[in-house]
Structure formats: C-alpha cells, structure tokens
C-alpha cells in the first residue's frame, strides 16, 4: 500500500489538533498531558517512517498536496518533499518525542502549556520543511517563533527573558525583510503566484536578484546562524530548557541552511553564485571563531552552543560550493549536527538535573561515578568531532572535498576547524569524565535512569549507523541535490571561481557506499 | 414605494437611531435605583441593524442604491463597512456592561451615546457627498466626546474629553475648509461631480483643489491619529473609559479610513500625483513615530494608544496605492484590527474591579497563572498587533504591504516591516509580564463576566480565523472595493 499524499497535511495538522486537545484538559491532569504529548509525537515519528518507506530516490517533489488557499493572490496550500527535506522531517519527528521524554521530570511548572507549545512547535517545523508556497512557508517560519519564545521565556534559566526576547526579535528582524522580498518577487515575476517551483522556473532580472537574495540571505544567515549574525544563539541555547535547546540546535538551526537550499538558491541562482565566495568566507570565519570561543568556555552548555556556530559553518561552506558532493555533505551534516548536538544538550541537561550546575570545573572523575553515562557521552563527543566511523565524519569529509573548487584556502582553514573542534570537545571530556572526583557532591551521582537511557541509546545508535551506512541516507538526498545544482548551473551567469574537474570527480567516488565512513 | 422616499439604504442607521432613543426613554421611565435594560435593548437593535445590512446586500447590486438626493449610498463598499461597524458596536456593548458596573458608571446614556456614534460611523462610510460626510463625522465625534468624559469621577476622563473635543473641533474646521475649497473649484460637494470637474481643470483652480485636498487630509489625519496630528491620541485613549477606548480605536479607524478611501478613490483620482506623496510621508512619519512612542510607554493603555497611531501608519502605507489595489487590503485589515483592539482593551476592561484597572506591566505580571484563558486571548491579540502569524494582523499587514509594493512604494513596506519588529518588542513585553513573571500581591482582579467572555472569544475566533482562512473575507473586501470604482 502506498502512502497517500495527505500524509504531509496529517503530519502538520495532528500536532495542532493535539495541542488544542491538551490545552482543553484541566491544569492538574499533568500525567495525561505528558502522555498525550509523548504518544502523539511518537505516533508522528512512526507516521513519518512511512515517508521513508515510500520515498523514491528521484529528483522532484513527492507527496505533493496543492489546494488553492487565497486565490486573489495566487496563494496555495502547497506541500511536498524532496530528498533535501525528507530527512529533516525525520529528524524533527525523531527529536521531538525525545525532547518531551527528556523533560519528563525536569518540567514541573505549567506542564500543560509546555506540551502545547512543544506540539505547536513541531507543527511549525514540519510545516517549514513541507511548504512549497512562499506565503505558507513564511507563515510556518514565523509562527514557529512563538512557541519557542515561550519555551525559552517560561522554562528557561536565569536570563531566560532576555534570551527569549533576543531570539524573537533577531529572527523576526531577519525574516520581515524576506517578506518584502516575497512581495517584490511576486510583483516582478508577473506570474501571479507564490508557488516556489513556478517562480524558480523563471528567475528574475539579475540586478533585482541581488537585492532579493540579500534579503533572503539575511533571514537565513541569522537562523543558521552565520557569523556575524550568531549572537542570539549562545543566549537562546544556554538559557533554554533542555528540550528547547535540543530542538533549537537539532532542528531550528537547520532551517537556515534549508532556506538557502529551498528558497534563496533556486529563486536567485545567479545572485547566489555571485555571493558564494562571501558566504564561504563567512562560513569559515564562523567555523574558526565558533571553535576558538568554545575552547575557552567554562560552561558546558555554552561550549556546545558555540560549537554549533562552528558546525553550521561547515554546512554553509558546503552550500556555498555549489557542487553536488558538498551540498549532499551539507544536508548530511545538518542531520549529524541535529543528532550529536541534540544528544550533547540532553547530556548536559542530565548533568544539570543532578548537580544544578553546568560549569566544567564543578565536575571531574564522572567516569567512575556514572560509567554508563560516561560511555555514551564519549561516543556522542566522538560523533560531534567527526571521528571516522561516526556520522560527523561523512558529512565533514564530503563538504571539505566538494568545496575545494570554491577556494582551496577556505578548505584548508576549515580543516583547521576540525582539529580545533577535537581540541575543545576532548578537553571538555577530559575535565568532566576523567581524573579524580574533586567535588564531594559528585561521588553520589546516580547513573543513567531507564528513561535517560531510552533517550540516549537511539541517538548514539543512529550516530553510529549513519557513520557506517551513509548511502542509505545519501541515496535519497543525491537526486534532489543534483537537480538543484544543475538547475542553478543552467541559469548561470559566469561562475565566480573556476571549478577544477578533479574536484568534481572526487566527490562522486566519496559518496559511494560506506567508503567515506571507512 | 415612492422611489424618492426609498429609505431602505439607510435602514441600519435608522434602526440604531431608534434604538438609541428607546434606550434613553427606557432610562427615563425606569424608577430611581433600578436599572433600565439598556444592554438587551442595544443588542437587540444592533442585531436588527445587522439583519438590515444583510438584507440590503441585494439592493446594493441594483446600482441605484443612493438615497436622500444622492448623499448616502448603500453600495457593496458601504455595506461591508456597515457590517463591520455594527459588529464593532455589538462586541463593544457586550464588553461594556461589566466594566461600567465595576466603575460605578452604569447609566443608559452610555449605550445611547454608543449607538449614536455608530450612526455617525454608518453615515461616514456611506456618504457620497462632502456635507453629509461632515455631518456624519460630527455625529460620530460629538457622541464620542461625551463618551470619553463619561467617567465623571476621574479627572483624567474629563481632561481627555476636553482635549478630544478641542482638537476634534479644530480638525473639523480644517476639514470644512477643505470642503469649501473643493466646492470652490468644482461647484459641487458631490464626490462624483468633484471628480468630473477635476478631470479637466484649468491650471489656476488646480492649485486650489490641491490645497483643498491637503486640508481634507489634515482633517482625516486628526481622526485617524496620523502623525503629526496624533498628539491627542495618547491622552484621550488613556483617559477615556477603557471600553470606550477600544470602541473608539476600532470604530473610528474603520469609519474614517472607509470615508478617506471613498473620497480619495471617487473624488480625487485626478489629483493622485499630489496626494500620493503626501500620504506616503504621513505613513512614514506615523509608522516611525507611533512605534517609537509606544516603545517608551510603561502604561499599557497608553502603549496601545501609540500602537494605534502606528497602525494608522500601516494603513496609510497601503492608502498610497488607493483605491484599486489598496481598498480591499485596507478593508480586510480594518476587520482584523477592530477585533484585536476591541479584544485588547476589552481584556483589560474585563479585569477591572472597583474602578481599578490593570494598567502597568506590574499589574499584568503572572496573569497567565491567574486568568489563563484571558491571558491566552490577550496574547493572541498582541501577536496579531505585532503582525506575527497565525493571525489576522499578519495576513492584513501582508496585504497592506503588498498593495504598497505593487504601487511601487517598496521603501515604505521596508520601513513598515522593520517597524513591526520594533512593535514586537513592546507587545511582547506585555506577554512576557503575563507569562514569564511571577504574580505580585493578591489577586484583586474581577472574574471575567460571561458577556465579556463571549465577546473576547468571538474576537479571538475572528483574529485566528482570518489568520488561517482569510479567503472569504478577502473576496468580500475585493468586491466591496470594486464597487468604489
């Protein structure tokens, strides 16, 4: 039996319906609310597995839904996914139930609202990844801010209000200009539609493309976040409750890169290529900068937060290269980052739940106290620093190989970032896990509970699986990326840097099964 | 029926006038110490008026829906706004009763004045002749002056009434002066004839016509509280009884913008080159100063007053594209805006107990744990005001800025969206206080009365409904706008 196309609508509407139901339950029914939240998000994950089963590894949109919505403006409720969005949807449905489970014991206050906001957030995120109409995309893109604002602001740490407001305003400031760009595009295209695919078929005049691309790029660069637009990230990630940090790092940060791939590049191919070197440069600055700042963080959560700036720099470098290899690597790296950084935030949260501190200096010798935790922590860290055999390696390798043609100096600098990331992560591991137990309070910390193990084991298993079986994933990503790249190159004004043939060849080989992993 | 005496097109206004008088009489015949059933009578009258508007819809198609010597018309445009205005009256009355009880001002005159100002608003949106427009403007305004000062015991209310009256009279003079100039140029006060006269003017009278338009714009600028004619708004909004503020914010904006679009679109298309840049400047100033002013406020009511100034700016942004592109966007926006303002001020009014209202952010602190439903409703209104989806405010702003961009005023749209970000900061401050701060002191706020609950729920439904399914109302708005051309 094949999956009906309406599955995408179901994925978006079910959490909304669930949120309404939970909102109507009496405040004290905490157990029911949690169970409904967890049950529903788990069901959504299972539902999304159907997408994987029936997704054909071909280019073009699948599971398309198209209903006229506001005909006066040619706005449609149009959904569809391709290889780029497929796995991001899976990532979302995978992390959300885990995030709910992760907050099972740490959220006591206003549980009903918490579940409602998590469900609305999931609907918004899935909507962003499914929308193929600019107006619809923008609705989800912005609507998503509200639940995240509440998650940070209500259940966050000491400076939560500051962080929540900063998060909201930063993101909104970036995206509103994109809204004006939508309107200008609508006027200029003369197609009387907000349909992404139709607009991408006929790119507009190059002069205007530049301006509109910049408006889009600002919105997405803030979301990624690219240096120097990253300053909201440390605040938001550190102050958010664990579930919020996991979703922020795991899914929300992917929307920037996704936005570039889905909107900015197909709509403005010439301008995108013109700005590719600049994006590549900012990306590499972000890689090095994020790594250096991580190196000196005394606070684990901050360290992980800044490491995101560095890791997302790789994603943007790959996107800026405009080679299939690197872009496939970028999409893969987005998934990796979601899993490994999500897991890291979970684990920092677990330590925080036990000790109510996140300072590295307050730990040490945890290995002997919490052996299971320490083993998983080490594995997650290895995944995060892209050790071969783990998922991170595949992504970073593809990106570095594929980006050579953009500018080899950038690749060399980015490789330095790889080394730095090993340095800050391993140094943290050393100080937290190894050595003597220096604080008496740490002697009696309980090891992982069953609930915590249920959260972490799938993440670690997936990190390993994605490290050795990458083709299972990339096989479905590649056709869509290839189509994107050839579409971009088809509309090309002269490509800014010379592409060396060997740089284009090598990646082909690397994407074949497992090789990269070994 | 004698065609000269066909009063059907003004039936809604007639019904409301009669209802107002009945409320007044009921009040007079009620023994001292007892209360007249003013609320049910008013609601009944408003419902009848709504039915009348509905029944008039076919009449508007006949083409000759003008009445009283062609001074008032019931075309699709007028009916759209009349439906909105009657709706505003309905929600406004529902919200008022508990507030008046708690502030000790429960008198029937309040409802009479509300109904009379509604009559003025209905006249404003259906007038096709400048004298009728002026009379309607005054009917609306005089009733509102009295309503503003209705809270006799509060000096702020008195001060607000006086301020409103003086600036209002001043602006009426500007308006009338503008009418005189246009009459001088065209020899008529009928919008159609003015348009005809201006279509082929000689050079000399054109200057006079432009002057007249400028003066009209000043008059309208006062009524919609556009910068630099907004000075009265913060004081009046703050001083007036909260339910009146909400009613005023929703109703006056709808009526005044309705009239402005009709005047610009019907009478003055020939002068578009002159008034478009002027409105663009007004829009720019209004958005920037309104939003920056709101940023500095700690009193929520005053903040909402500045926000209402800012929203006049957004509306004016689209008005530069009048009328072909903008009218439908403006009509749509006015619907959402009315629901949001009635709801926003209504939520504050609903908490009022013994004359004490939640005004500061401190009063709002922790409201989410004390009145979760009300806090959620207020959050929806504030999010809509900030123009964040999913809400009528977002879709409305989208249409407004789309109209501006299509008319070539992309710069205005850029300023508009950036100012929306600024506005998100001060709107979110209220949300933050409600959800992220701990409640201070005892819970002294009133339990939300049933009729207020109904009104707020209705407003929330409108705001969210238009945010998700804007199509139907937008189509109605487009048809209404087409009848202007």
- Taking the C-alpha atoms of residue A93 and residue A15, their distance in angstroms, rounded to an integer, is 11
pTM of structure = 0.91
| Cβ pair B424:A168 closer than 8 A | yes
Confidence of residue A287 (pLDDT cuts 50, 70, 90): very high
Taking the CA of residue B436 and the nearest CA in chain A, the distance in Å comes to 5
Mean pLDDT to the nearest integer, A508-518: 42
Q: What is the pLDDT of residues A258-283, one digit of tens each?
A: 999 999 999 998 889 889 999 999 99
* A72: contact with B, CB 8 A cutoff: yes
> What is the Cα–Cα distance from B109 to A105, expressed in whole angstroms?
57
pLDDT in tens, A421-478: 999 999 999 988 888 888 888 888 888 888 999 999 999 999 999 988 888 888 899 8
Q: What is the pLDDT of residue A507?
A: 43
Going by pLDDT thresholds of 50, 70 and 90, the confidence category of residue A198 is: confident
Number of CB atoms found within 10 A of residue B102's CB: 20
| Burial of A52: CB neighbours in 10 Å, binned 0-12, 13-18, 19+ | middle
Q: Which of B296, B325, B335 is nearest to B425 (CA)?
A: B296
Q: Which two tokens stand for residue A333?
A: 């790296």
Q: Is the pLDDT of residue A246 over 60?
A: yes
Q: How far is CA A403 from the centre of its chain?
A: 20
pLDDT of residue B204: 64
Tens digit of each residue's pLDDT (9 = 90 or more) over A88-119: 999 999 999 999 998 888 888 888 899 999 99
* Beta-carbon separation of A153 and B436 below 8 A: yes
pLDDT of B437 reads: 87
pLDDT of residue A492: 56
Residue A65 forms beta bridges with which residues?
A79
Which of B414, B417, B474 lies at the smallest CB-CB distance from A70?
B474
Supply the pLDDT for residue A491: 67
pLDDT on residue A123: 94
Give the percent of chain A with pLDDT over 90.
Answer: 50
Cα distance between residue B422 and residue B16, in whole Å: 40
Alpha carbon of A257 to those of A187, A223, A283, A326, A428: distances in Å? 26, 8, 11, 13, 28
Give the integer Cα–Cα distance in Å for A303 and A298.
Answer: 8
The mean pLDDT values, 10 residues at a time, for chain B of 485 residues are 66 93 89 83 94 83 68 88 95 92 86 95 93 94 94 90 93 93 89 85 76 93 90 92 94 94 88 89 94 92 93 92 79 95 93 85 86 92 92 92 89 92 92 88 84 94 93 89 82
Query: Which of A182, A183, A187, A188 to mutate to test binding with chain B, by most B CBs within 10 Å of its CB?
Result: A183
Confidence class of residue A513 from pLDDT cuts 50, 70 and 90? very low
Are the beta carbons of B405 and A161 separated by less than 8 Å? Answer: no
Tell me what the pLDDT averaged over chain B comes to.
89
Chain A residues within an 8 Å CB radius of B372: 27
Per-residue confidence (pLDDT) for residue B28, from 0 to 100: 85
CB contact under 8 A, A177 and B402: no
The overall average pLDDT reported for chain A is 87
Report the 10 Å Cβ neighbour count for B18.
14
Q: What is the pLDDT of residue A508?
A: 42
Mark yes or no for CB contact B401/A183 under 8 Å.
Answer: yes
Distance CA B6, CA B8 (A): 6
Residues 6+ apart with CB under 8 A from B4: none
3-state secondary structure chain B: CCHHHCCHHHHHHHHHHHHHHHHHHHHHHCCCCCCCCHHHHHHHHHHHHHHHHHHHHHHHHCCCCEECCCCEECCHHHHHHHHHHHHHHHHHHHHHHHHHHHHCCCCHHHHHHHHHHHHHHHHHHHECEHHHHHHHHHHHHHHHHHHHCCCCCCHHHHHHHHHHHHHHHHHHHHHHHHHHHHHHHHCCCEHHHHHHHHHCCCHHHHHHHHHHHHHHHHHHHHHHCCCCCCCHHHHHHHHCCHHHHHHHHHHHHHHHHHHHHHHHHHHCHHHHHHHHHHHHHHHHHHHHHHHHHHHCCCEHHHHHHHHHHHHHHHHHHHHCCCCCCHHHHHHHHHHHHHHHHHHHHHHHHHCCECCECCCEHHHHCCHHHHCHHHHHHHHHHHHHHHCCCCCHHHHHHHHHHHHHHHCCCHHHHHHHHHHHHHHHHHHHHHHHHHHHCCCCCCCCCCCCCHHHHHHHHHHHHHHHHHHHCCHHHHHHHHHHHHCCC
pLDDT at A496: 42
Q: Is A222 within 8 Å of A171 (Cβ atoms)? A: yes
With 70 as the cut, is the pLDDT of residue A217 above it? yes
Query: Which residues have CB under 8 Å from B64's CB, separation 6+?
Result: none
Q: Reply yes or no on whether the pLDDT at A501 is more than 50.
A: no
């Amino acid at each position: 039996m094949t999956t009906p196309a309406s599955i995408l609508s179901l994925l978006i509407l079910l959490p909304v319906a669930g949120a309404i139901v939970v909102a109507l339950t009496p405040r004290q029914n905490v157990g029911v609310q949690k169970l409904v939240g967890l049950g529903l998000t788990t069901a959504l994950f299972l539902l999304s597995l159907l997408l994987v089963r029936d997704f054909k590894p071909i280019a073009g949109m699948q599971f398309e839904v198209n209903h006229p919505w506001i005909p006066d403006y040619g706005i449609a409720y149009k959904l569809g996914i391709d290889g780029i969005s497929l796995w991001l949807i899976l990532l979302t449905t995978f992390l959300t139930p885990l995030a709910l489970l992760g907050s099972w014991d740490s959220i006591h206050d206003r549980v009903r609202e918490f579940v409602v906001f998590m469900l609305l957030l999931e609907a918004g995120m899935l909507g962003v990844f499914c929308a193929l109409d600019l107006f619809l995309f923008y609705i989800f893109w912005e609507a998503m801010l509200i639940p995240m604002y509440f998650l940070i602001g209500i259940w966050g740490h000491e400076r939560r209000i500051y962080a929540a407001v900063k998060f909201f305003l930063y993101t909104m400031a970036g995206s509103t200009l994109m809204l004006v760009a939508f309107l200008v595009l609508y006027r200029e295209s003369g197609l009387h539609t907000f349909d992404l695919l139709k607009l991408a078929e006929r790119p507009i005049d190059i002069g205007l493309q530049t301006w509109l691309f910049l408006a889009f790029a600002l919105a997405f660069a803030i979301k990624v976040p690219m240096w120097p637009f990253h300053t909201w990230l440390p605040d938001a990630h550190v102050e958010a409750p664990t579930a919020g940090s996991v979703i922020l790092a795991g899914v929300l940060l992917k929307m920037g890169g996704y936005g570039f791939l889905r909107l900015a590049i197909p709509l403005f191919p010439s301008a995108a290529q013109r700005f590719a070197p600049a994006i590549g440069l900012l990306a590499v600055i972000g890689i090095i900068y994020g790594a250096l700042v991580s190196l000196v963080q005394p606070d684990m959560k901050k360290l992980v937060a800044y490491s995101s700036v560095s890791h997302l720099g790789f994603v943007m470098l790959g996107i800026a290269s405009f080679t299939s290899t690197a872009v496939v690597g970028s999409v893969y790296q987005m998934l990796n980052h979601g899993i490994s950084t999500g897991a890291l935030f979970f684990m920092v949260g677990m330590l925080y739940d036990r000790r109510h501190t996140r300072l590295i200096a307050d730990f040490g010798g945890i290995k002997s106290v919490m052996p299971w935790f320490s083993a998983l922590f080490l594995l997650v860290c290895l995944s995060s620093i892209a050790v071969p055999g783990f998922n991170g390696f595949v992504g970073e390798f593809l990106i570095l190989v594929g980006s050579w043609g953009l500018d080899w100096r950038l690749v060399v600098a980015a490789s330095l970032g790889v080394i730095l990331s090993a340095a800050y992560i391993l140094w943290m591991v050393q100080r937290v896990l190894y050595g003597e137990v220096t604080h008496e309070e740490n002697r009696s910390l309980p090891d992982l509970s069953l609930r915590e193990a249920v959260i972490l084991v799938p993440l670690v298993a997936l990190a390993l699986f994605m490290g050795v079986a990458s083709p299972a994933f990339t096989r479905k990503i590649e056709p869509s990326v290839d189509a994107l790249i050839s579409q971009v190159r088809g509309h090309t004004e002269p490509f800014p840097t010379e592409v060396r043939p060997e740089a284009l060849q090598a990646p082909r080989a690397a994407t074949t099964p497992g090789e990269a992993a070994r | 029926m004698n065609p000269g005496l066909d009063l059907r097109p003004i039936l809604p206004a007639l019904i409301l006038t009669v209802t107002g008088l009945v409320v007044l009489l009921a009040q007079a015949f009620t023994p001292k110490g007892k209360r007249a059933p003013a609320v049910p009578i008013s609601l009944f009258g408003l419902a009848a008026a709504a039915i009348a508007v509905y029944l008039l819809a076919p009449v508007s198609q006949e083409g000759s829906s003008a009445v009283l010597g062609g001074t008032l018309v019931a075309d699709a445009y007028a009916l759209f706004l009349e439906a909105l205005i009657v709706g505003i009256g309905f929600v406004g009355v529902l919200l008022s009763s508990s507030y008046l009880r708690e502030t000790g001002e429960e008198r029937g005159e309040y409802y009479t004045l509300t109904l009379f100002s509604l009559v003025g608003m209905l006249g404003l949106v259906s007038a096709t002749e400048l004298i009728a427009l002026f009379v309607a403007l005054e009917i609306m305004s005089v009733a509102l002056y009295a309503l503003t000062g209705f809270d006799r015991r509060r000096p702020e209310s008195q001060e607000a009434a006086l301020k409103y009256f003086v600036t209002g009279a001043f602006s009426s003079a500007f308006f009338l002066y503008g009418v005189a100039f246009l009459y001088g140029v065209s020899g008529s006060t009928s919008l159609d004839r003015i348009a005809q006269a201006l279509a082929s003017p000689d050079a000399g009278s054109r200057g006079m016509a432009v002057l007249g338009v400028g003066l009209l714009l000043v008059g309208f600028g006062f009524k919609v509280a556009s910068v630099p004619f907004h000075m009265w708004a913060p004081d009046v909004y703050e001083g007036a009884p909260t339910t009146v503020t909400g009613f005023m914010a929703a109703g006056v904006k709808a009526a005044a913008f309705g009239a402005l679009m009709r005047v610009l679109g019907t009478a003055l298309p020939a002068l578009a080159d002159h008034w478009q840049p002027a409105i663009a400047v007004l829009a720019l100033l209004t958005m920037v100063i309104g939003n920056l002013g709101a940023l500095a406020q700690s009193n929520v009511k005053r903040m909402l007053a500045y926000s209402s100034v800012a929203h006049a700016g957004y509306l004016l942004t689209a008005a530069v594209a009048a009328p072909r592109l903008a009218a439908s966007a403006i009509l749509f926006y006015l619907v959402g805006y009315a629901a949001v303002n009635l709801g926003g001020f209504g939520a504050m009014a609903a908490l009022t107990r013994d004359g004490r209202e939640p005004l500061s952010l401190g009063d709002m602190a922790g409201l989410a744990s004390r009145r979760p439903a009300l806090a959620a409703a207020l959050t929806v209104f504030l999010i809509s005001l900030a123009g964040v989806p999913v809400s009528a405010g977002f879709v409305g702003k989208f249409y407004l800025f789309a109209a501006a961009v299509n008319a070539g005023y992309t710069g205005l749209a850029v300023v508009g969206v950036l100012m929306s970000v600024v506005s998100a900061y001060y709107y979110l401050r209220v949300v933050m206080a409600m959800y992220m701060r701990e409640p201070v002191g005892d819970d002294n706020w009133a339990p939300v009365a049933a009729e207020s609950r109904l009104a707020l729920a209705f407003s929330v439904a409108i705001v969210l409904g238009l945010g998700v399914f804007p199509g139907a109302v937008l189509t109605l708005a487009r048809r209404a706008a087409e009848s202007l051309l």
